[in-house]
A and B are shown apart, each in its own frame.
Chain A
Amino acid sequence: MIQIRPRENKSNLLSAVTPVIAVILTMFFGGILFSFLGKNPFEAIKLIFWDPLMSETFADYARPQILVKAAPLILIALGLAVGFRANIWNIGAEGQFIMGALFSGAIGLAFYPSEHWFIFPLMITGGIIGGVLWAIIPGILKSRFNTNEILVSLMLVYIAEQALASASIGLLRNPEGSGFPGSRNLNQYPSASNPEIISGSGIHWGVVFAFLAVWFFHYLLKNHKFGFHIRLFGDAPRAAQFAGLKTEYIVLLCFSISGALAGVAGMFELTGPAGAITIDFNVGYGFTAIIVAFLGRLNPIGILLAGLLMALTYVGGEISQFMLGIPAAAIQVFQGMLLFFLLSIDVIVKYQISFSKTKAISNKS
């Protein structure tokens, strides 16, 4: 039988390098996957990890794209990490991302075509509110009726997708769009758009916001009472109660924070890279951010690095798709592998696994 026991001397160094080991293993097994698809594995790996940053052909396009893709991942993952640290599992950031975009889009479009300075800030607020409202549903259900937040938040993603589809063919459809689904393009509406701050850099307000959020959450979690409460609740909920915290308060707060960040990420995505509300507006940032959060060890600085890495695989994946014809699904498998290896190495770092031939005797001793 297999015995799994917690290791007594946990190696801190080892736990810091596990993400690196996971990346290397993913490259190795991903390479095997690509070679099964009849592609040259070395070239594929190079296209994914090296060329977006260094090759002359791609770097000009790819480097800004990495920032554009990393920003929503980092924002969402930061919010998720706060909840995960408290053992509160919001899996539905994708839905909150959509709702943030819908709320902010609706606000922006309501003012069309008047130009005011306050429209953009109002849209940011709307994005936050949309995300929070969608996230607070599983929070309330959990704290009131003890429902499973994983299931509820996940299922709400599918409802949000339906709402998105409905809005893009109904309420928010472009009246001048000759009947095509999708809203007006906000990029052509200066008060509601989020263009690059420095042209060609990829840096838009969402990227700035993401970096500021990393810095803010780093100090919040480390040195603020709030971060302490989150960690306390995650480690020993009863001790948190004893300290005077209400479970309901922590649950709702964690959901609100992750909802707010996912919502605001949706807002920046809508006003910047995406431009318009469309049926396929969401591309899975909310789910990939779960990988980013864990890859970054639920730590803001780690999440920054993990978000950049994950964005790299997105951009590199696109390049390898059109250079080598690697299917998009294979790139998703590749990203999934990363989480898989990270979690499995975690088990090996935290636990000692031994195999013995003796039969299980469950009459405890």
Chain B
Amino acid sequence: MTLTTANLLQISNVTKRYSTVIANNDVSLNLFKGQIHALLGENGAGKSTLVKIIYGLVKPDVGDMILNNKVYAPENPKKARMSGVGMVFQHFSLFDALTVSQNVLLGMDKSISHNSLMDQIVDVSTSYGLPLNPNRIVGDLSAGERQRIEIVRCLLQKPKLLIMDEPTSVLTPNEINQLFNTLRKLSSQGTSILYISHKLEEVRALCDTATILRNGSIVKSFIPSKTTSAEIAELMVGQKVKPTIKIKSGLKETVLQVRNLSIKSKNTFGTNLKNINFELHQGEILGIGGVAGSGQDELLSALTGETNLEKNTLLYKNIDIGWMSPKQRREIGLLTAPEERLGHAAAPEMNLIENSLITAKNGHGLVKSGWINLSKAVKYAEDIINKFDVRTDSAKNSAKNLSGGNLQKFLIGRELNQNPEVLIVNQPTWGVDASAAQFIRQALLDLISKGNAVIIISQDLDELLEISDRFTALVNGSISKPQLTHTLSVSEIGLMLSTENRTGLEA
């Protein structure tokens, strides 16, 4: 750890509001020279907004910043870069068909000759341990190598502060180690790094200081190497308001059973599921928490029927249904709502009538011996629109023209309207405004009051603790034993979410 006390960036009392939501509430933060500072928090805690303010993408409503003893209020990212602030985004913006050096050249603010740029790229990449051949075509490179281009692009402008937004989400363990070495080297030479992550182990391995944001406010700053993962997780979770305890006379009959489910992810950067076991009972909501990329997508597609399962890994009312297609599962009452609305749950160019046909069961008479009954389909879609308060002027609107909240109400409504025995939803309220989110949660609660069962996979812990009867967490593709939510203490939840008791990270 570098012990410098010189201030680089002081953020004082920054507040940013988006209509009804406070993204940043009176945030004050000091960054020291040469320090690696982690910014932690759940999704929607306000990390990105704060970083966007520093990088000039968003202007704060209140508050000011001082960079190197000068007032700092960047109007745009270009001004921020000129003041010495660089940022590496989670998603890269590179042209696949161009070479490394051409890509870097395109991103330069100052004009520079191609040859001297090549030399500089080689210089920077060797001195910081970022092996990169400027003549390679970007399309041939791995995610780690692409990220190096973005880093080199920033370093060429000699930044005093480098912001990294979840840099390890696309990297292999080896690439992560390499990245950490580079970042340590940079910090030892006096560059400050603001490191956004929700992977606690990484933060503990790399960062000098960490600050936790929750609901837009700073909770605490601490030294991560002297704090356990469980303690950090507990801080991130906070003192949740306990929901009114639903008194239940024990658990009812089991409807869905997952037994020793292991799946290799189809996606190169996906997470393999490791020996997952849980049961779902009638009339309950099972909440599955965990940070993004812990295997949520893989678990959902195993449950929907998009992934083939081994025998006896998924049982519905004691019958093996692992072989069934999504359509067959729907017909026996197992319905799902995936996280990605446009492109997975809904077809963007199609209108709501056609989108309602994607999952509608044949029982509704919408399709008779293959022919679609258009007037019935229109009625069906309009029925969903009315019942679930979807704000749209017509059912003929295409899905992509609806706001996130309205489309989600429609998609959840599409499943609820079929009265599912088991409904599995992934991130039901992600990117949805507060009132729509409340509406969706209430609709799920109404469903279980009829004795049906729900699984919610979510990264919003508040949501899970508010409505789920039992809670478990998905961490690195494995799941802990579900516990009754109202009996869990904050530190127990923190422990379930932390990686400490599972596979550690090599760093």
Contact = CB atoms under 8 A, between A and B. Distances in A.
Interface string B323-353: 0011110100000101010111111111000
B344 A244 contact: no
Interface stretch (A207-215, A283-291, A301-309, A356-364): A356-364
B347 A235 contact: yes
B338 A361 contact: no
Contact of A225 (B95, B153, B336, B372): B372
Contact of B347 (A239, A244, A246): A239
A239 B345 contact: yes
A355 interface: no
A223 B366 CA distance: 11
A186 B330 CA distance: 54
A228 B357 contact: yes
Given A235-B350, A236-B343, A363-B81, A244 B372 contact: no
Contact of A239 (B76, B95, B346, B374): B346
Nearest to A226: B370
Given A224-B372, A361-B109, A364-B93, A242 B81 contact: no
B346 A241 contact: no
A12 interface: no
Interface string B68-89: 0000000011100100000001
B63 interface: no
A243 B358 contact: yes
A46 interface: no
Contacts of B372: 223-225, 228
Interface in A225-245: 225-226, 228, 231-232, 235-236, 238-239, 241-244
A11 interface: no
A4 to B, nearest CB: 15
A242 B411 CA distance: 13
Nearest to A364: B93
B327 A225 contact: no
Contact of B354 (A228, A363, A364): A228
Q: How large is the interface on A (under 10, 10 to 19, 20 to 34, 35 or more residues)?
A: 20 to 34
Interface centre among B93, B328, B372, B374 (most CB of A within 10 A): B372
B107 interface: yes
A146 interface: no
Nearest to B304: A242
A8 to B, nearest CB: 10
Contacts of B78: 361
B341 to A, nearest CB: 10
Contact of B93 (A231, A238, A246, A363): A363
A359 B197 CA distance: 33
A134 B61 CA distance: 65
Given A242-B344, A244-B328, A363-B81, A225 B350 contact: no
Nearest to B93: A364
Contacts of A361: 78, 107, 109
A362 B95 contact: yes
B18 interface: no
A360 to B, nearest CB: 6
A178 interface: no
A243 B93 contact: no
B103 interface: yes
B9 to A, nearest CB: 20
B338 A242 contact: yes
A334 to B, nearest CB: 33
A244 B350 contact: no
Nearest to B153: A363
A362 B347 contact: no
A365 B359 contact: no
A360 B81 CA distance: 16
B305 A244 contact: yes
A99 to B, nearest CB: 29
A244 to B, nearest CB: 3
Contact of B326 (A223, A232, A243): A243
Contacts of A226: 370
Given A244-B325, A362-B106, A363-B107, 7 more contacts: A235-B348, A236-B342, A236-B344, A244-B326, A362-B103, A363-B81, A363-B153
